[in-house]
Structure 1
Amino acid sequence: MAKFFGNLHLVLAAGLVLALLVIFAVPANTIAEQAILRWLHLFFGITWIGLLYYFNFVQIPTMPKVPAELKPGVSKFIAPSALFFFRWAAALTVLTGVVIAWRAAYLVEALIFKPGFVLIGIGMWLALIMAFNVWFVIWPNQKKALGLVPAEDAVKAKAATTAMIFSRTNTLLSLAMLYCMINFNGG
Protein backbone atom coordinates (compact mmCIF):
# COMPACT_ATOMS: atom_id res chain seq x y z
CA MET A 1 0.00 0.00 0.00
CA ALA A 2 2.84 2.40 0.86
CA LYS A 3 4.45 1.69 -2.52
CA PHE A 4 1.22 2.65 -4.34
CA PHE A 5 0.63 5.85 -2.32
CA GLY A 6 4.33 6.71 -2.48
CA ASN A 7 4.04 7.08 -6.27
CA LEU A 8 2.20 10.35 -7.02
CA HIS A 9 1.84 9.56 -10.73
CA LEU A 10 0.23 6.21 -9.97
CA VAL A 11 -2.15 7.80 -7.46
CA LEU A 12 -3.12 10.50 -10.00
CA ALA A 13 -3.69 7.87 -12.70
CA ALA A 14 -5.88 5.83 -10.36
CA GLY A 15 -7.75 8.99 -9.35
CA LEU A 16 -8.33 9.82 -13.02
CA VAL A 17 -9.65 6.33 -13.71
CA LEU A 18 -11.98 6.60 -10.69
CA ALA A 19 -13.19 10.03 -11.82
CA LEU A 20 -13.87 8.76 -15.34
CA LEU A 21 -15.81 5.80 -13.93
CA VAL A 22 -17.95 8.20 -11.92
CA ILE A 23 -18.37 10.58 -14.87
CA PHE A 24 -19.59 7.84 -17.19
CA ALA A 25 -21.43 5.68 -14.63
CA VAL A 26 -23.40 8.51 -13.03
CA PRO A 27 -24.25 11.09 -15.67
CA ALA A 28 -24.36 14.71 -14.56
CA ASN A 29 -27.23 17.05 -15.39
CA THR A 30 -25.26 18.24 -18.39
CA ILE A 31 -23.55 16.70 -21.38
CA ALA A 32 -20.34 14.77 -20.70
CA GLU A 33 -18.09 17.29 -22.48
CA GLN A 34 -19.37 20.17 -20.32
CA ALA A 35 -19.14 18.07 -17.17
CA ILE A 36 -15.55 17.08 -17.93
CA LEU A 37 -14.56 20.67 -18.76
CA ARG A 38 -16.12 21.94 -15.53
CA TRP A 39 -14.40 19.18 -13.57
CA LEU A 40 -11.01 20.05 -15.13
CA HIS A 41 -11.64 23.75 -14.51
CA LEU A 42 -12.34 23.01 -10.86
CA PHE A 43 -9.31 20.70 -10.53
CA PHE A 44 -6.92 23.24 -12.04
CA GLY A 45 -8.55 26.05 -10.04
CA ILE A 46 -8.16 24.17 -6.76
CA THR A 47 -4.52 23.51 -7.62
CA TRP A 48 -3.91 27.17 -8.50
CA ILE A 49 -5.67 28.71 -5.51
CA GLY A 50 -4.41 26.00 -3.16
CA LEU A 51 -0.82 26.86 -4.09
CA LEU A 52 -1.59 30.59 -3.85
CA TYR A 53 -2.83 30.01 -0.30
CA TYR A 54 0.15 27.74 0.48
CA PHE A 55 2.54 30.52 -0.52
CA ASN A 56 0.65 33.19 1.42
CA PHE A 57 -0.44 31.27 4.51
CA VAL A 58 2.58 28.97 4.92
CA GLN A 59 5.72 29.69 2.90
CA ILE A 60 5.93 33.51 3.05
CA PRO A 61 5.24 33.78 6.81
CA THR A 62 7.46 30.79 7.65
CA MET A 63 10.58 31.65 5.63
CA PRO A 64 11.86 34.32 8.08
CA LYS A 65 11.78 31.64 10.83
CA VAL A 66 13.72 29.05 8.79
CA PRO A 67 17.41 28.83 9.72
CA ALA A 68 19.68 30.22 7.00
CA GLU A 69 21.30 26.84 6.30
CA LEU A 70 17.89 25.30 5.56
CA LYS A 71 16.52 28.07 3.29
CA PRO A 72 18.18 26.70 0.12
CA GLY A 73 16.03 23.57 0.52
CA VAL A 74 12.97 25.71 0.02
CA SER A 75 14.36 28.24 -2.47
CA LYS A 76 16.18 25.72 -4.68
CA PHE A 77 13.79 22.77 -4.56
CA ILE A 78 10.34 23.35 -3.06
CA ALA A 79 9.54 26.84 -4.35
CA PRO A 80 10.56 26.25 -8.00
CA SER A 81 8.49 23.05 -8.12
CA ALA A 82 5.49 24.69 -6.45
CA LEU A 83 5.78 27.69 -8.81
CA PHE A 84 5.77 25.35 -11.82
CA PHE A 85 2.43 23.84 -10.79
CA PHE A 86 1.17 27.26 -9.66
CA ARG A 87 1.67 29.01 -12.97
CA TRP A 88 0.50 26.11 -15.16
CA ALA A 89 -2.57 25.57 -12.98
CA ALA A 90 -3.36 29.27 -13.45
CA ALA A 91 -3.03 28.96 -17.23
CA LEU A 92 -5.11 25.79 -17.42
CA THR A 93 -7.78 27.22 -15.11
CA VAL A 94 -8.17 30.23 -17.38
CA LEU A 95 -8.06 28.11 -20.53
CA THR A 96 -10.74 25.68 -19.35
CA GLY A 97 -12.85 28.57 -18.03
CA VAL A 98 -12.70 30.35 -21.39
CA VAL A 99 -13.60 27.11 -23.22
CA ILE A 100 -16.56 26.52 -20.86
CA ALA A 101 -17.85 30.07 -21.35
CA TRP A 102 -17.30 29.91 -25.12
CA ARG A 103 -19.03 26.51 -25.48
CA ALA A 104 -21.93 27.72 -23.33
CA ALA A 105 -22.11 30.87 -25.50
CA TYR A 106 -21.71 33.43 -22.70
CA LEU A 107 -18.04 34.42 -22.98
CA VAL A 108 -18.64 37.82 -24.58
CA GLU A 109 -21.72 38.51 -22.46
CA ALA A 110 -19.72 37.88 -19.30
CA LEU A 111 -16.71 39.93 -20.35
CA ILE A 112 -18.89 42.96 -21.15
CA PHE A 113 -21.08 42.50 -18.04
CA LYS A 114 -24.34 41.92 -19.91
CA PRO A 115 -27.27 41.64 -17.45
CA GLY A 116 -27.49 38.09 -16.11
CA PHE A 117 -23.73 37.64 -16.59
CA VAL A 118 -22.34 40.35 -14.30
CA LEU A 119 -21.33 38.00 -11.50
CA ILE A 120 -19.46 35.57 -13.75
CA GLY A 121 -18.00 38.52 -15.66
CA ILE A 122 -16.53 39.98 -12.49
CA GLY A 123 -15.15 36.54 -11.59
CA MET A 124 -13.64 36.10 -15.03
CA TRP A 125 -11.98 39.52 -15.02
CA LEU A 126 -10.59 38.93 -11.54
CA ALA A 127 -9.22 35.54 -12.65
CA LEU A 128 -7.67 37.10 -15.77
CA ILE A 129 -5.97 39.79 -13.66
CA MET A 130 -4.73 37.11 -11.26
CA ALA A 131 -3.39 34.92 -14.09
CA PHE A 132 -1.67 37.97 -15.61
CA ASN A 133 -0.05 38.64 -12.22
CA VAL A 134 1.13 35.02 -12.00
CA TRP A 135 2.76 34.91 -15.42
CA PHE A 136 3.96 38.48 -15.92
CA VAL A 137 4.76 39.74 -12.42
CA ILE A 138 5.07 36.97 -9.83
CA TRP A 139 6.93 34.39 -11.94
CA PRO A 140 9.51 36.78 -13.49
CA ASN A 141 10.22 38.26 -10.05
CA GLN A 142 10.38 34.86 -8.34
CA LYS A 143 12.95 33.70 -10.90
CA LYS A 144 15.19 36.57 -9.75
CA ALA A 145 14.41 36.19 -6.04
CA LEU A 146 15.11 32.44 -6.10
CA GLY A 147 18.31 32.82 -8.13
CA LEU A 148 16.91 30.95 -11.13
CA VAL A 149 18.15 33.83 -13.26
CA PRO A 150 21.20 35.95 -12.41
CA ALA A 151 20.48 39.05 -10.33
CA GLU A 152 22.34 41.13 -7.77
CA ASP A 153 21.29 40.91 -4.12
CA ALA A 154 19.44 44.25 -4.17
CA VAL A 155 17.54 43.21 -7.30
CA LYS A 156 16.69 39.85 -5.70
CA ALA A 157 15.34 41.56 -2.58
CA LYS A 158 13.23 44.00 -4.62
CA ALA A 159 11.96 41.13 -6.80
CA ALA A 160 10.98 39.10 -3.72
CA THR A 161 9.01 42.07 -2.36
CA THR A 162 7.28 42.65 -5.70
CA ALA A 163 6.39 38.96 -6.02
CA MET A 164 5.01 38.97 -2.47
CA ILE A 165 2.90 42.09 -3.05
CA PHE A 166 1.36 40.66 -6.21
CA SER A 167 0.84 37.28 -4.58
CA ARG A 168 -0.98 39.01 -1.73
CA THR A 169 -2.94 41.00 -4.33
CA ASN A 170 -4.03 37.70 -5.88
CA THR A 171 -5.03 36.40 -2.44
CA LEU A 172 -7.15 39.53 -1.94
CA LEU A 173 -8.77 39.17 -5.39
CA SER A 174 -9.31 35.42 -4.98
CA LEU A 175 -11.92 35.85 -2.25
CA ALA A 176 -14.31 37.84 -4.47
CA MET A 177 -13.39 35.75 -7.53
CA LEU A 178 -14.32 32.51 -5.78
CA TYR A 179 -17.64 33.97 -4.66
CA CYS A 180 -18.45 35.04 -8.22
CA MET A 181 -17.48 31.68 -9.69
CA ILE A 182 -19.48 29.48 -7.34
CA ASN A 183 -22.62 31.65 -7.39
CA PHE A 184 -23.06 32.10 -11.14
CA ASN A 185 -26.21 30.29 -12.15
CA GLY A 186 -25.76 30.12 -15.91
CA GLY A 187 -27.20 33.46 -16.97
Structure 2
Amino acid sequence: MDIRRVVTGHDAAGKSVFVSDDAVRPARPTLMPGSQFHQLWGGDTAPQFPDDGSMPQWHSYFPPVGGFRFAMLTLPPSAGTGASEAPDIEKGLAEIEELLPGMLGYMDPSDPGMHTTDTIDFEVVLEGTVVLELDDGAEVTLRAGDTVVQNGTRHRWKNPGDVPARMAVFICGASHANVTR
Protein backbone atom coordinates (compact mmCIF):
# COMPACT_ATOMS: atom_id res chain seq x y z
CA MET A 1 0.00 0.00 0.00
CA ASP A 2 1.29 3.46 -0.89
CA ILE A 3 1.07 5.82 2.08
CA ARG A 4 1.35 9.57 1.66
CA ARG A 5 2.19 11.82 4.62
CA VAL A 6 1.42 15.55 4.42
CA VAL A 7 2.89 17.58 7.29
CA THR A 8 2.01 21.11 8.37
CA GLY A 9 3.93 23.49 10.58
CA HIS A 10 4.52 27.18 11.14
CA ASP A 11 6.82 29.63 9.41
CA ALA A 12 8.94 32.21 11.26
CA ALA A 13 5.94 34.56 11.47
CA GLY A 14 3.73 31.84 12.97
CA LYS A 15 1.71 31.37 9.76
CA SER A 16 0.44 27.85 9.00
CA VAL A 17 2.37 26.22 6.15
CA PHE A 18 2.77 22.87 4.43
CA VAL A 19 6.29 21.66 5.18
CA SER A 20 6.37 18.26 3.47
CA ASP A 21 4.38 15.92 1.25
CA ASP A 22 6.11 12.56 0.94
CA ALA A 23 5.56 8.85 0.38
CA VAL A 24 6.40 6.75 3.44
CA ARG A 25 8.03 3.41 2.73
CA PRO A 26 7.09 0.54 5.04
CA ALA A 27 9.39 -1.60 7.12
CA ARG A 28 9.02 -5.22 5.91
CA PRO A 29 10.87 -7.56 8.29
CA THR A 30 12.01 -10.80 6.64
CA LEU A 31 10.82 -12.89 9.62
CA MET A 32 7.32 -11.38 9.28
CA PRO A 33 6.52 -12.07 5.59
CA GLY A 34 3.66 -9.97 4.26
CA SER A 35 3.71 -7.60 7.26
CA GLN A 36 4.21 -3.89 6.67
CA PHE A 37 4.88 -1.23 9.29
CA HIS A 38 4.43 2.38 8.08
CA GLN A 39 5.90 4.47 10.88
CA LEU A 40 4.28 7.82 10.10
CA TRP A 41 5.08 10.10 13.04
CA GLY A 42 6.12 10.02 16.63
CA GLY A 43 7.81 11.75 19.48
CA ASP A 44 9.16 10.80 22.88
CA THR A 45 7.74 13.93 24.54
CA ALA A 46 4.56 15.97 24.21
CA PRO A 47 4.57 18.31 21.17
CA GLN A 48 4.92 22.08 21.54
CA PHE A 49 3.61 24.64 19.07
CA PRO A 50 4.28 26.66 17.04
CA ASP A 51 6.77 24.31 15.39
CA ASP A 52 8.59 23.97 12.08
CA GLY A 53 6.82 20.73 11.22
CA SER A 54 9.92 18.55 11.45
CA MET A 55 9.70 15.01 12.84
CA PRO A 56 10.27 15.01 16.61
CA GLN A 57 12.99 12.78 18.04
CA TRP A 58 11.99 9.26 18.95
CA HIS A 59 13.99 6.13 19.60
CA SER A 60 11.86 3.00 19.97
CA TYR A 61 8.85 1.41 18.33
CA PHE A 62 6.69 1.88 21.44
CA PRO A 63 6.72 5.35 23.07
CA PRO A 64 7.73 6.25 26.63
CA VAL A 65 5.29 7.92 29.02
CA GLY A 66 4.38 11.26 27.41
CA GLY A 67 5.44 10.03 23.96
CA PHE A 68 3.31 9.00 21.00
CA ARG A 69 3.40 7.08 17.72
CA PHE A 70 1.22 7.17 14.59
CA ALA A 71 1.43 4.24 12.19
CA MET A 72 -0.32 2.01 9.72
CA LEU A 73 0.05 -1.76 9.89
CA THR A 74 -0.60 -4.44 7.31
CA LEU A 75 -1.22 -7.93 8.66
CA PRO A 76 -0.95 -10.75 6.14
CA PRO A 77 -3.42 -13.66 6.23
CA SER A 78 -2.46 -16.05 9.07
CA ALA A 79 -2.46 -19.05 6.74
CA GLY A 80 0.21 -19.37 4.08
CA THR A 81 2.57 -16.61 5.22
CA GLY A 82 5.62 -18.81 5.71
CA ALA A 83 8.88 -17.98 4.00
CA SER A 84 9.75 -20.04 0.93
CA GLU A 85 13.14 -20.98 2.42
CA ALA A 86 14.45 -21.31 5.97
CA PRO A 87 15.37 -17.81 7.18
CA ASP A 88 18.54 -16.91 9.07
CA ILE A 89 16.89 -16.33 12.47
CA GLU A 90 19.77 -14.36 14.01
CA LYS A 91 19.99 -12.07 10.99
CA GLY A 92 16.18 -11.70 10.91
CA LEU A 93 15.98 -10.74 14.59
CA ALA A 94 18.73 -8.15 14.08
CA GLU A 95 16.77 -6.76 11.12
CA ILE A 96 13.58 -6.45 13.23
CA GLU A 97 15.56 -4.61 15.92
CA GLU A 98 16.94 -2.23 13.29
CA LEU A 99 13.58 -1.60 11.57
CA LEU A 100 11.34 -1.64 14.66
CA PRO A 101 13.65 -0.80 17.61
CA GLY A 102 12.64 -2.32 20.92
CA MET A 103 9.58 -4.19 19.62
CA LEU A 104 11.01 -7.65 20.32
CA GLY A 105 11.54 -6.77 23.99
CA TYR A 106 7.78 -6.71 24.47
CA MET A 107 7.12 -10.06 22.79
CA ASP A 108 6.52 -13.24 24.78
CA PRO A 109 9.01 -15.72 23.30
CA SER A 110 7.06 -18.66 24.75
CA ASP A 111 3.80 -17.61 23.03
CA PRO A 112 4.48 -16.18 19.52
CA GLY A 113 2.80 -12.85 18.80
CA MET A 114 1.55 -12.37 22.37
CA HIS A 115 2.77 -9.13 23.93
CA THR A 116 2.06 -6.50 26.58
CA THR A 117 3.04 -2.86 26.21
CA ASP A 118 3.06 0.14 28.52
CA THR A 119 0.87 2.06 26.10
CA ILE A 120 -2.71 2.95 25.27
CA ASP A 121 -3.33 2.10 21.62
CA PHE A 122 -6.14 3.45 19.45
CA GLU A 123 -6.69 1.21 16.40
CA VAL A 124 -8.99 1.47 13.40
CA VAL A 125 -9.41 -1.42 10.98
CA LEU A 126 -9.30 0.07 7.47
CA GLU A 127 -9.48 -3.09 5.35
CA GLY A 128 -9.87 -6.81 5.90
CA THR A 129 -10.56 -8.75 9.06
CA VAL A 130 -8.45 -9.03 12.21
CA VAL A 131 -8.91 -11.02 15.38
CA LEU A 132 -7.75 -9.54 18.68
CA GLU A 133 -6.92 -12.31 21.15
CA LEU A 134 -6.36 -11.64 24.87
CA ASP A 135 -4.18 -13.67 27.20
CA ASP A 136 -7.00 -15.95 28.36
CA GLY A 137 -7.95 -16.91 24.77
CA ALA A 138 -10.92 -14.51 24.57
CA GLU A 139 -11.24 -13.15 21.02
CA VAL A 140 -13.11 -10.48 19.13
CA THR A 141 -13.34 -10.26 15.34
CA LEU A 142 -12.94 -6.78 13.85
CA ARG A 143 -13.76 -5.60 10.35
CA ALA A 144 -13.31 -2.37 8.40
CA GLY A 145 -14.61 0.57 10.44
CA ASP A 146 -14.26 -1.21 13.80
CA THR A 147 -12.08 0.41 16.46
CA VAL A 148 -10.20 -0.77 19.55
CA VAL A 149 -8.85 1.04 22.58
CA GLN A 150 -6.09 -1.26 23.82
CA ASN A 151 -5.31 -0.47 27.47
CA GLY A 152 -1.97 -2.19 28.07
CA THR A 153 -3.44 -5.70 27.99
CA ARG A 154 -1.57 -8.85 26.94
CA HIS A 155 -2.73 -9.63 23.41
CA ARG A 156 -1.93 -10.72 19.86
CA TRP A 157 -3.32 -9.91 16.41
CA LYS A 158 -4.31 -12.48 13.77
CA ASN A 159 -5.70 -12.17 10.26
CA PRO A 160 -8.11 -15.08 9.58
CA GLY A 161 -8.95 -13.82 6.10
CA ASP A 162 -7.38 -14.52 2.74
CA VAL A 163 -6.36 -10.90 2.00
CA PRO A 164 -4.09 -8.49 3.93
CA ALA A 165 -5.75 -6.51 6.72
CA ARG A 166 -4.80 -2.88 7.28
CA MET A 167 -5.05 -0.84 10.45
CA ALA A 168 -4.29 2.74 11.47
CA VAL A 169 -2.81 3.02 14.97
CA PHE A 170 -2.13 5.87 17.39
CA ILE A 171 -0.08 4.81 20.44
CA CYS A 172 0.44 6.82 23.65
CA GLY A 173 3.04 5.93 26.29
CA ALA A 174 1.46 5.14 29.67
CA SER A 175 2.57 4.01 33.11
CA HIS A 176 1.99 0.26 33.55
CA ALA A 177 2.87 -1.43 36.83
CA ASN A 178 3.34 -4.82 35.15
CA VAL A 179 5.61 -3.71 32.28
CA THR A 180 9.19 -2.62 32.78
CA ARG A 181 11.55 -1.37 30.10
Q: Which has the larger radius of gyration?
A: 1
Q: Do the two structures share a fold, i.e. TM-score over 0.5?
A: no
Q: Identify the structure with the greater helix proportion.
A: 1
Q: Identify the structure with the greater strand proportion.
A: 2
Alignment TM-score, normalising by the size of structure 1: 0.26
